[in-house]
Structure formats: C-alpha cells, structure tokens
C-alpha cells in the first residue's frame, strides 16, 4: 500500500471544496476519487443525483461467490467556520497531522476506503465476494446521496460507514429529528402585559418542562446499547422589541431517539408538554412540526447492529490482528448508516479515522498515520468478511 499516494488523494479531495456554497458541490471531490481509482485499474462510475452532484460507485469482484461488503462515505462537508483565520483547504501536513475541512468528516475515511480497494486489487484481488465503494453526496443536510443509492435497489451483506470513531468499531447510534415548536400568542403593549398572551413566556415554560419532565424520563428508559434518548434546544426566536408582548416564538430542538421508542412517541412526548403550556395560557396556540431541512424522504431513525454479526466480527478481528482495542463502542452522532440499515436492510456499522470532536471545527485535522491504519483495517476486514458461502 502506497501511503504517500493515499495522502496525496486526501489532499486532492480536501482542496476540492464541497460545502453548500460551492457550485456543483461534490463533483470535484468525486472526480479526484475517480481519477485515483482509474489510475489503479478500478473503474468508478459517476451517477448524478442532483445536477453536478454525483455519487461515485466502484466495485471489486472476487473470483468466486461470497459476501458483498459496502464501504460508504460522504463527499460533502460543512462550510468553513465563520470568523476563523484558518486555511481550510490547504490540506497542509504539520507535525504528522493533515489539516483542513473534511479531513475528519469524512474525506479521510474515503481516501482510506479507496486505498483499501487498491490494496486488495494489487495484492491479488478478492478470492471471493465483492467490495463496493460508494461515495455519496449531501449527508450533512438531507442525505440525497444515500437515498439515491438505496432507491437504486443496491444490496449488500454488510456496510461500513467511515465516520470518525478513532478507528474503533461502533455498533450503533441514535436516531435524529429536527423539530420546531411554534407558539402563537397575542401582542399588546408591554405596560399592560396581562392583556396579552406572551409567546416567549410560553416557550420558556415549554423549555422548563423539557428540562424537568422530559429529560428525567429519558434517564429512566435507556436503550440497552445506545443509552438514554437526548434532546438539545438549539435555537429560540421571538418578539419584536422590548415594549411588545411577543405574539410569536419558535423553538427548534434536536431530538435523538433510540430503538425502544417510535418516532410517533417522539412527537407525542413533546405534544404532551405543549398541552400543559396551552392549559396554563388561555388563548395560546401551538404547533409542532418537523423541520424540512432535516431530511429528504426517509426517516432518520436509530441504528444498531448485532454484536455477533459476521461484519462486526470481521472488523474486530482486523483490529485484534493489528494489536488494537476491538471492544465495540457507539457513535454519538447520526449517519447515513441508519438509512442503509433501516431502509435497505443492510447490517451496518460505523468505523473510521479521526475524532468526532474535531469535525466541523476550525481545528479539523487527523493524524496521517490514522488514515493509513484505517486503509489497512478496511482491507483486512473486507478479506475476512468475503469468504465463499
């Protein structure tokens, strides 16, 4: 495996900006990945999902039938951090780390996955089975790329999503809902506040009920793998000026849910709190709605894979052979893996280089040795997973 070439591929992908402000957002990254694969005799097909925004699909076929492994990652990134003086697209290497947007989330893993395919091919190929690399668009927003892969009818026996786990195997993560609670009151002059219906006060009451009723309930009903559900109050907007009683306020929340609850229960739990808020404020009207930018079509549910699944055992075996910690963990954020698992029925785990705490940050970077290690681990796991049936 040529580590120098793997690093150069990652640098090319980082320099090919792929955040939402870039025209034909992910195309440059996909082209860099395709060019690398083609130089090594692996045809990578670009499949346009949105205009100028292609998924890339490349498959290695073994000599005999066997399991099919999907290696999957996303080519889009979040934008540079506002106000930062960092050069997010230099892909500079300093003190053994490569810096730049996407190094952690998750072009580093994509470079490692591509290098794993090349290593498998150039060390004799697969004896059996198949390995497919899917580099998909739009994970950071609505998951158009993963949805397109699924609706194309793609199937495999297992999938690895290369989100940053510090190269540890993660066997699940929580589901995700972005929800907005809207409060509609009655505006009056602030000097006669009692004549109005205060939408901001109603929103504050709702937030207090989340803190004192909803969250303690989560702690009493943890998922055996994923732990308790979670909720974050992300934004609040309301009012016009200090001398007005606010007649409208909106609270946006990030709700993480687990396998022992349903999406209907997610909504019902918040609706119960809104009912209490309305009862305390005659004349108040409320609404609860999913934020449209949170997903395209498919539900962003939780993900769990059986710890005894052959893919988990293959990944853990690759780690053990390298003398590394193979005890499974869980991933704190949501990934396209939930769609691949729930909608396509493909058992899926999360496994990739980098630290999640550096993703989306001005300090985004990853040790280059972790990228090279990930490539070797992916190749070793693929060989373990794809023997003949």
What is the set of active-site residues?
Answer: 76, 139
Whether 107 and 77 have beta carbons less than 8 Å apart is answered as yes
- Identify which of 38, 35, 110 has the alpha carbon closest to the alpha carbon of residue 75: 110
User: What distances in angstroms separate CA 352 from CA 33, 62, 66, 221, one per listed residue?
Assistant: 17, 24, 24, 30
| Separation CA 169–CA 177 (nearest Å) | 24
Round to whole Å and give the CA distance between 207 and 233: 8
Please report the sign of the dihedral spanned by the C-alpha atoms of residue 136, residue 141, residue 143, residue 144.
negative
Q: Helix, strand or coil for residue 48?
A: strand
* Residue 35 phi, psi (nearest 5): -65, -40
Residue 175: which H helix or E strand, with range? strand 175-184
Could you give the 3-state DSSP secondary structure of residue 263? Answer: helix
CA distance 94 to 96: 5
Sequence-distant (6+) residues with CB within 8 A of 208 are: none
**Residue where the block lists tokens 């409060």:** 183
Q: How far apart are CA 367 and CA 354, in angstroms?
A: 8
Coil/strand/helix, residue 35: helix
Q: Edge-to-edge, what's the strand order for the sheet holding 97-99?
A: 93-94, 97-99, 365-367
Compute the distance between CA of residue 18 and CA of residue 199 in angstroms, rounded to an integer: 40
Query: Is residue 77 within 8 Å of residue 140, measured between CB atoms?
Result: yes
As given in the structure block, the two tokens for residue 154 are 């793609």
How far lies 227's CA from each of 161, 178, 339, 348, in Å? 21, 20, 20, 19
Q: Is 93 helix (H, G, I), strand (E, B) or coil?
A: strand
């Amino acid at each position: 495996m040529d580590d120098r070439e793997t690093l150069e591929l990652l640098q090319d992908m980082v320099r090919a900006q792929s955040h939402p402000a870039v025209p034909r957002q992910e195309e440059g990254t996909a082209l860099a990945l395709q060019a690398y694969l083609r130089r090594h005799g692996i045809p990578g097909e670009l499949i346009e999902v949105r205009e100028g925004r292609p998924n890339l699909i490349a498959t290695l076929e073994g000599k005999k039938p066997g399991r099919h492994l999907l290696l999957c990652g996303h080519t889009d990134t979040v934008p540079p951090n506002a106000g930062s003086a960092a050069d997010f697209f230099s892909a500079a290497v300093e003190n053994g780390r490569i810096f730049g947007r996407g190094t952690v989330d998750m072009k580093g893993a994509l470079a490692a996955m591509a290098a794993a395919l090349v290593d498998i091919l150039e060390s004799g190929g697969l004896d059996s089975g198949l390995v497919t690399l899917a580099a998909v668009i739009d994970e950071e927003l609505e998951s158009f790329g993963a949805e397109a892969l699924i609706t194309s009818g793609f199937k495999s026996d297992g999938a690895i999503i290369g989100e940053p786990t510090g190269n540890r195997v993660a066997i699940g993560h929580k589901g995700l809902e972005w929800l907005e609670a809207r409060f509609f009151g009655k505006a009056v002059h602030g000097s006669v506040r009692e004549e109005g219906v205060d939408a901001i006060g109603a929103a504050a009451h709702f937030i207090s009920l989340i803190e004192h009723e909803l969250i303690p309930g989560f702690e009493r009903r943890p998922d055996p793998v994923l732990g308790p559900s979670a909720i974050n109050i992300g934004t609040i907007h309301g009012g016009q000026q200090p001398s007005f009683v606010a007649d409208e306020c909106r609270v946006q929340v990030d709700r993480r849910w687990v396998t022992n609850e349903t999406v209907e229960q997610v909504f019902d739990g918040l609706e119960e709190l809104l009912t209490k808020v309305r009862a305390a404020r005659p004349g108040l009207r409320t609404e609860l709605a999913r934020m449209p930018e949170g997903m395209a079509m498919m539900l962003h549910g939780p993900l769990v894979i059986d710890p005894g699944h052959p893919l988990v055992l293959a990944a853990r075996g690759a780690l053990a052979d390298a003398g590394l910690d193979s005890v499974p963990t869980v991933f704190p954020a949501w990934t396209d893996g939930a769609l691949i698992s729930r909608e396509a029925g493909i058992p899926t785990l999360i496994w990739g280089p980098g630290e999640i705490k550096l993703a989306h940050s001005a300090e985004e970077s990853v040790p280059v040795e972790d990228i090279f290690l990930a490539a070797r681990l992916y190749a070793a796991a693929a060989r373990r997973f794809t023997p003949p049936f």
